[in-house]
Structure 1
Amino acid sequence: MTSPAPARPALSAALGACTIVIAVDRRSTELATALERHGATVRHAPALSIMPHIDDEALISATRQLIDAPPDVVVVTTGVGFRGWMEAADEAGLADDLQRALTGAQIVARGPKARGAIQQAGLTADWVAESETSSELGEFLLAEGVGGRRVAVQHHGSGADGLDALFARAGAEVVSLTVYRWGPPPDPAAVSRSVLATAQGDVDAVLFTSAPGAAEWLATARRESALEAIAARADAGRLLVAAVGPVTAGPLRDAGIPPLVAERGRLGSLVRAVVTHFGGGHAPGVATAAGRLELRSGGAVLDGRVIALSRTSLLLLGVLSDAAGGVVSRHDLQAALPRSGDSAHAVDVAIGRTREALGVPTLIRTVVKRGYRLDVADDIADHTAAGDAANRPREDAS
């Protein structure tokens, strides 16, 4: 019996207590593994699936046309699509012939992922659209002139993007290649659960690697009446929404959600951006007497230490953190707790359990006859105490 492969060692705890939704189909396992090695809990919720056309007769027929009459220009819009085309040619026994047909062509790419696939196939990209948009790619080729030239266009999963018609109007002979299409999500219920959990605060980050996938996830959020809450959490900095590149970020910006955009348009760059955000002090937090405190969906990070906490403790700490050292009454804390009823004693019990879990009892101070406050650092307390300092009742030592 074959032993299971040993787990890869953790790289850091930067994403400890973070729950991250990846709305990705292709290479989702690779992305999840990279995030988990930094301590994240990953939820898979691909909003679309990729439906390959490896056996598509139209694709093979177009490939044969290009072998018989090689193109002058090859337009590569996606890395996954170009790799799929090469795989389809290989399955049909046409790989070597296609390689020779493309060797003399000018090859242009819509972004770094497309360029990487071209290089992987043993070819060279002559030009790469920095904005990763089809419009920039089209403008470049029109400026160079495509009249009378044979142009092969590999399309992305959304189908035609206007390039065929654009080049044809300019006098080009266009050969269109659709290698894959976007299909329905593998598990629609998982997508719905992910948007509801995100709106409720049970998710720290959502990651996207394609514009159609981002658009469909947002459409699900609208159908579930969750988009407004998601946008509000993102705008407040309590939710990180990250995109692999500027094109993927487009639907997010259109929905009023400010995205973090990876610098290099690669999965590795996306992971680094997320790790840097949470591990580099960019996530919301408050400086306390016990160190910086950040709250995440699965717990807290206190002075770099990841602490698992119950939802009740997280709700309490959230209210106290928002007060930034100000006193919060038992009544207000009680209102934030589920199932506390009319019992103020439930607040005291929850505070005790939270102190015990944190391991720093003095982090939450009792203000006699008034409530509780977070023991923030002196420089913050100086700015927040003005309203309380005049006749503040005494505090106990806990």
Structure 2
Amino acid sequence: MSEHPILDGPGPLAGRTIAVTSHRRAEDLAEALERQGARTVRAATMRIVPVGEDPELVAETERLLAADPPVLLVSTGQGFTTWLDSLEPTLRERTEAWVHRSRIFCRGPKARGAVRGRGFPDAPTAPEETTASLVDVVLDAGIRDTAIGLQRHGYPDDRQLARLEEAGCTVHVVAPYRWRPGPDQDAVRDLIERTIAGEVDAITFTAGPAVEALWRTAREAGRFDALQEALRDGRCAALAVGHVTAQPLQDAGIPVLWPERERMGALVRLAVERLGRPAPEQET
């Protein structure tokens, strides 16, 4: 686990140790925290496999088209776009033809915008931008006893998939993002031990799969229960970039905070608000 001291004087987070679990843009987040005085540790719990290195996506697409489900659930705009753009032209044309004749439901406004931007019909959108809300919309629309295609985002919410299956639906998943363990698992194991020991004030998460990857490493190390207890009892705070990222933490019964504006800069401001020292009073 790479540890970095403060950069620009004490700052409101001086004396605080904050972990960064992301792989993408990890340096940006760590440096923003350091500018506020924090000591940061880098421990990327997972990484994204580039689409071009993932032949399984093509196989998933072929299986989806063979099943020819009449319903498509789009989880993320970027994922939907990445999926279509990654396919070779003939397979892309077949996939787009299937999308055109499908009944589409979107998890949020970005997914809806991506669907419309590709020339597909406008689609109903989940009001809360969560998988649970998306499934609510689908079931409220009377979708039952049919095959469904799902463009999955990073965190697979098995409880919501089970709701669809209980309604008689068969779900065919395509996952444009494939998640693999982070490049330095020793760093992740060290983070787990330091968190249990009370040496880390907060762990930041910018993607739901980063949480799942942390759980996986903790289970392998025999430290899963101890790690979760440290995150529950106040030894270490869990900070997420947004409500979707927070979901797997909430599912585990762990208190988690996220900013109203779901952006990295807002996450840093939340860390300052929750963990920072109060500003000194001005002399009058």
TM-score interval for Structure 1 and Structure 2 normalised by the shorter chain: 0.5 to 0.7
CA RMSD of aligned residues (A): 4.4
Q: Deviations over 1:53-99 (max 9, x none)?
A: 44523145368x49xx8x7643123455334313313x547668866
Specify which of 163, 179, 183 is matched with residue 182 of structure 1.
179
Work out the CA distance in 2 between the residues paired with 1:129 and 1:226.
34
Unaligned runs of 5+ in 2: 1-7
Distance change in 2, residues 1:162/1:92 (3 Å): farther
Larger Rg: 1
Cα distance, 1:17 vs. partner?
4.4
SS state at 1:146 partner: coil
Q: Deviations over 1:108-139 (max 9, x none)?
A: 3335675676577687663125161x333223
1:42 counterpart residue number:
40
One-letter amino acid matched to 1:140: V
- Equivalent residues of 2:218, 2:227 under 8 A apart: no
Q: Structure 1 residue 303 and structure 2 residue 276: aligned?
A: no
State the distance in 1 between where 2:231 and 2:164 align. Answer: 43
Match status 1:128 vs 2:129: no
- Kept in 2, the 8 Å contact 1:158–1:182? The answer is no
**Match of 2:86?**
88
Identity over the aligned pairs, expressed in percent?
36
SS at match of 2:150: strand
Residue of structure 2 equivalent to 1:207: 204
Q: Which residue of 2 aligns with 1:355?
A: none
Aligned pairs (5 A) from 1:349-364: none
What does residue range 236-385 of structure 1 map to in structure 2 within 5 Å? 236=234, 239-253=236-250, 255=252, 257-279=254-276, 303=280
Q: What are structure 1's unaligned runs of at least 5 residues?
A: 1-9, 282-291, 293-301, 305-398
- Supply the AA of the counterpart residue of 2:214: W
Query: Could you tell me whether the CA contact under 8 Å between 1:75 and 1:154 is conserved in 2?
Result: yes
Structure of greater relative contact order (alpha carbons < 8 Å, 6+ residues apart): 2
Alignment partner of 1:82: what SS?
A: helix
Residue type matched to 1:303 in 2?
Answer: P
3-state DSSP class of the match of 1:128? coil
Q: Give the total of aligned pairs.
A: 268
Structure 1 match to 2:62: 61
DSSP 3-state at the match of 2:128 = coil
What letter is aligned with 1:127? T
Q: Distance in 2 between matches of 1:45 and 1:137?
A: 32
Aligned mate of 2:193, from 168, 186, 196: 196
- After TM superposition, give the deviation of residue 260 of structure 1 in Å: 1.2
| CA–CA separation in structure 1 for the residues paired with 2:210 and 2:81 | 20
Contact 2:43–2:191 (Cα < 8 Å) also in 1: yes
Which residue does 1:77 correspond to in 2? 75
User: Retained in 2: the 8 A contact 1:59–1:179?
Assistant: no
Paired residue secondary structure (1:61) = helix
2:22 match: secondary structure: coil
**Structure 2 residue 106 is matched with structure 1 residue 109:** yes
Question: Aligned AA for 2:59?
Answer: A
8 Å CA contact 2:154–2:207 kept in 1: the answer is: no
Change in Cα spacing, 1:264 to 1:119, as seen in structure 2 (3 Å) is farther
Give, as a single letter, the amino acid of the residue that structure 2 aligns with 1:45.
A
CA distance in 2 between partners of 1:112 and 1:13 (Å):
37
SS of 1:127 mapped into structure 2 = coil
* TM-score (structure 2 length as normaliser): 0.67
Distance 2:165 2:196 in 1: 46
CA-CA distance at 1:47 after TM superposition: 2.1
Q: Which residue number corresponds to residue 141 of structure 1? A: 138
3-state SS, counterpart of residue 49 of structure 2: strand
Per the normalisation by structure 1, the TM-score is 0.51
